[in-house]
Every structure is written in structure tokens, then in C-alpha cells.
Amino acid sequence: MTIDIINPIDREFRDVSSKIRDDERYWPYFKNCIGAIDEAHVPVKIYPSKQIPYIGRKWTHTQNVMAVCDFRMCFTFVWAGWEGIAHDTRTFLEAIRKEELRFPHPPRGKYYLVDAGYPHMKGYIGPYKGERYHLPDFRRGSQPRGMHEIFNHAHSSLRCTIEITFGVCKNEWKLLHCLSNFPYDKQVKIVVASMALHNFIRKHAIKDAEFQLYDDDEDLLPTDIIGDDEAHD
């Protein structure tokens, strides 16, 4: 089920997402953008002798889950099971280089949005560094000023779709907050299975409460985005 469901609808990415096409903040500037990439940390239970590599950013034991999403809030790629200490760049580079993972590489002229923690390279566009970027920073301060800040604000507004997608999935499946009763390999499989079910609901449900919150308010942010930003500041 996961192999069938966690995939792009069209691996050539011929169609432009309505989220981009219908919003003057993004159209036509991001017309060749096909999705966003990020990683999320999911709590895990690990044997004491193996815990150190799984200590994440908040000093809890986590697995690092790399994912790609489209702008319908559907996952199009997932690679779960990395140690919490694993750096985003490492997981990203391995994902795009391992042919057996079938990463949905951007066709010529297309690209994904990534944050400043990823390499800025052909097919993967990050924000301008040294400028305001995170949405809570703009909401607490003045409106974006200058070419770089205006670009960063639009980039962040569009890229946060992946953070929202992770947030919806975690809210939909409370089990992801407590996987301690399962062996580690099963904890990894549960994460991937939950993401497949997330996609199934998004594609086939007429209305779902978790998705509807963000469909009704495009400027709504998950609370963990705000919390992480404030902690980072």
C-alpha cells in the first residue's frame, strides 16, 4: 500500500499546483516548483546501549524521518528510521543518490523548496541566508522589505506546506507520539504506514477535520512550527 500511495501522481510533474497558480504571491514566480522537502523527529524507544545516536535536538530519543510532499499536503517520498542525531544534509544526499529508493527527482527546469539546512543546488532551492526567513519572525516584526526578504517570505509561506503536512499526520495518528511498546523496526514501519494512510485520507475522504483546518485558513501554522522557531531564536 505504501509503495502505491506514497508517490507523485505524475513523475514528470507536468501540471502546476492550484496552490501556486491561484495565489499571486507564488504565481508566476514559483510556477516550476513541484514540492517541498523537510525532516521531522518522531519519538522512539531504544535499548539503553543504543540510545546515544538517537538523541535528537530536544534531548529526547527520536528517529529522523525525511519526506517530500506536494502542495495538496500529500507525501510523495518518505525515508524513515534515521537516528535522531543524523544531519538533514546526510539523509538528503543519500536519498537522492540511492537508486533503489526511487526518489522522485525533479525534471529539468523543475525544483523543490528546501530550508537553509540543505545544500542549495540545481533542482533544490533554499532561501537567502542572513535574512529573515521563518514566518513567525515576520509576524512578530515588520512586513518583508527588499528583494531578498520578499522572496524569503514567499518561499517560507510555500515551503511550510511540508511542516503542515507533518503536523496533520502527527495529529491524525496520536500513536506516533508514543511507540514505546514496539520493537524499533516496527516503530519505523508504523511511521511509514501512518503516512500512507494520511495520503489515502487526503485523496479519498470528502472532508477530514485535520486537513480542513488548513484548507479553511491558508495562513494557519501548526503550533510546533511556532514553538520550534521561538526555541531557535
Judging by beta carbons within 10 Å of its beta carbon (0-12, 13-18, 19+), is residue 15 exposed, middle or buried? exposed
Contact 167, 194 (CB under 8 A): no
Q: What is the pLDDT of residue 146?
A: 93
- Cβ count near 64 (within 10 Å): 24
Average per-residue pLDDT for the chain: 89
Q: Does pLDDT of 232 surpass 80?
A: no
CA distance 2 to 33: 24
* pLDDT digits 0-9 by tens, 34-43: 999 999 999 9
Distance CA 222, CA 95 (A): 26
Q: Comparing 225 with 33, which gets the higher pLDDT?
A: 33
| Residue 36, pLDDT score | 98
pLDDT digits (tens, 9 = 90+) for 121-173: 999 999 999 999 988 888 888 889 999 999 999 999 999 999 999 999 999 99
Of the chain, the percentage scoring pLDDT greater than 90 comes to: 66
Q: Say if residue 53 is preceded by a cis peptide, omega within 30 of 0.
A: no
Are the beta carbons of 5 and 200 closer than 8 angstroms? yes
With 0-12 CB in 10 A as exposed, 13-18 as middle and 19+ as buried, what is 33?
Answer: buried
Would you say the C-alpha torsion 229, 230, 231, 233 has a positive or negative sign?
positive
* Cβ atoms of residues 165 and 40 within 8 Å: no
Within 10 angstroms of residue 45's Cβ, the number of other Cβ atoms is 15
Query: Is residue 231 pLDDT above 70, yes or no?
Result: no
pLDDT for the residue 228: 46
The domain segmentation of the chain, as residue ranges, is 2-232
